[in-house]
């Protein structure tokens, strides 16, 4: 059975983390020439080129390019609330949503937000397949710099259609003035404390005629998130939801489409 790496002792540990680690405010990550040269140089080194794999015609690295003191000693598969939120690992619902988008969603020429992007597969796919603009957001600046941007640069040298953001969802709308036609988000509802923040991002950043595609496990055992509770909250906030894909064998997973309710 799927379970996050928490047991009852480290659940109280994680509550302590939240108290001790206030959320990081959202900022745009500016890719200036220094940052670009640093990333490109590292990408050319053989230890990186040896680690490039291919998925749906996209080249990807799975290991971050750089190490950071701020998140050393945290396993990439663990979550440390308000410190590291899982962006270094590619979580399984990303593959569900990638396939769903490839087969069903018209992304051309749309404004897209990859919310909680991690390695950035979803946004990258849309960027390479006709999106007008793609914004990538991750909680961790470290993830954006050492995984998301390198993955984009492995596939295109043109970052003109992209923007990058890092920090907590509670302040994302303060730094973005775009409305998105499509928001793609995978494995982002595991923590109940984030549900209202996510809904507020949808309310402020989704184009009135746009939609969110959210991929998630049905239950996040050990941390409390559950897609049914999240859908109920969405309905309470004047959204309509529909299940567009589901997997009931093994770990139950779903993709839901979310739109504003039309009065």
43 SS3 class: helix
Q: Residue 245 corresponds to which tokens in the numbers above?
A: 């894909």
Residue from 65, 71, 80, 94 in contact with ligand SAM (CB under 6 A): 94
- Binding-site member from 6, 29, 91, 213 for ligand SAM (CB under 6 A): 91
Peptide bond into 17 cis (omega under 30): no
Number of residues that bind ligand SAM (CB under 6 A): 20
Determine if 90 is a binding residue for ligand SAM (CB under 6 A): yes
- By beta-carbon proximity to ligand SAM, the closer residue of 78 and 240 is 78
Nearest CB to ligand SAM, comparing residues 51 and 209 = 51
Q: Tell me if 186 contacts ligand SAM by CB under 6 A.
A: yes
SS3 content of the chain, % helix, strand, coil (to 5): 35, 25, 35
Does the footprint of ligand SAM cover residue 140 (CB under 6 A)?
yes
- Choose the binding region for ligand SAM from 137-145, 205-213, 223-231, 252-260 (rule: CB under 6 A): 137-145
Find the binder of ligand SAM among 60, 71, 86, 147 (CB under 6 A).
86
Which position has the token pair 């015609």? Answer: 57
Q: What is the dihedral sign for C-alpha 41, 74, 136, 117?
A: positive
Q: What are the residue ranges of helices labelled H in 53-190?
A: 92-104, 121-128, 141-143, 149-153, 172-175
| Residue 87 in contact with ligand SAM, rule: CB under 6 A | yes
- The CB-of-91 to ligand SAM minimum distance in angstroms stands at 4
Structure tokens at 97: 């949503």
Q: Which is nearer to ligand SAM, 25 or 38 (CB)?
A: 25
Residue 222 or 240: the one with the smaller Cβ distance to ligand SAM is 222
Of residues 170 and 240, the one with the C-beta less far from ligand SAM: 170
Please state, in angstroms and rounded to a whole number, the distance separating the CA atoms of residues 142 and 134: 19
Each residue 197-216 as x (binds ligand SAM by CB under 6 A) or -, in order, gives: x-------------------
Give the helix ranges, DSSP H, for the chain.
8-20, 33-44, 46-49, 92-104, 121-128, 141-143, 149-153, 172-175, 195-205, 227-236
Residues near ligand SAM (CB under 6 A): 85-87, 90-91, 93-94, 116-118, 138-140, 168-169, 186-188, 194, 197
């Amino acid at each position: 059975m799927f379970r996050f790496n928490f047991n009852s002792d480290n659940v109280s540990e994680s509550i302590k983390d939240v108290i001790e680690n206030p959320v990081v405010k959202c900022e745009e990550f500016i890719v200036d020439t220094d940052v670009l040269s640093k990333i490109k140089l590292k990408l050319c080194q053989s230890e990186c080129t040896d680690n490039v794999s291919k998925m749906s015609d996209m080249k990807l690295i799975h290991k971050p390019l750089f190490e950071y003191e701020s998140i050393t000693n945290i396993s990439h598969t663990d979550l440390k609330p308000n410190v590291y939120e899982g962006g270094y690992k590619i979580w399984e619902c990303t593959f569900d949503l990638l396939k769903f988008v490839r087969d069903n969603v018209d992304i051309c020429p749309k404004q897209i937000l990859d919310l909680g992007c991690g390695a950035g597969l979803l946004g990258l796919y849309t960027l390479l397949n006709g999106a007008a603009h793609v914004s990538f957001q991750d909680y961790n600046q470290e993830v954006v710099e050492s995984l998301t941007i390198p993955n984009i640069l492995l596939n295109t040298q043109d970052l003109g259609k992209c923007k990058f953001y890092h920090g907590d969802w509670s302040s994302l709308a303060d730094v973005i003035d775009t409305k998105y036609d499509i928001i793609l988000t995978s494995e982002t509802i595991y923590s109940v404390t984030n549900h209202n923040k996510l809904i507020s991002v949808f309310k402020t950043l989704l184009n009135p005629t746009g939609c969110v595609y959210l991929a998630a496990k049905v239950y996040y055992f050990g941390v409390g998130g559950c897609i049914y509770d999240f859908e109920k909250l969405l309905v309470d906030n004047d959204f309509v939801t529909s299940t567009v894909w589901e997997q009931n064998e093994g770990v139950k997973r779903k993709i839901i489409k979310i739109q504003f309710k039309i009065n």
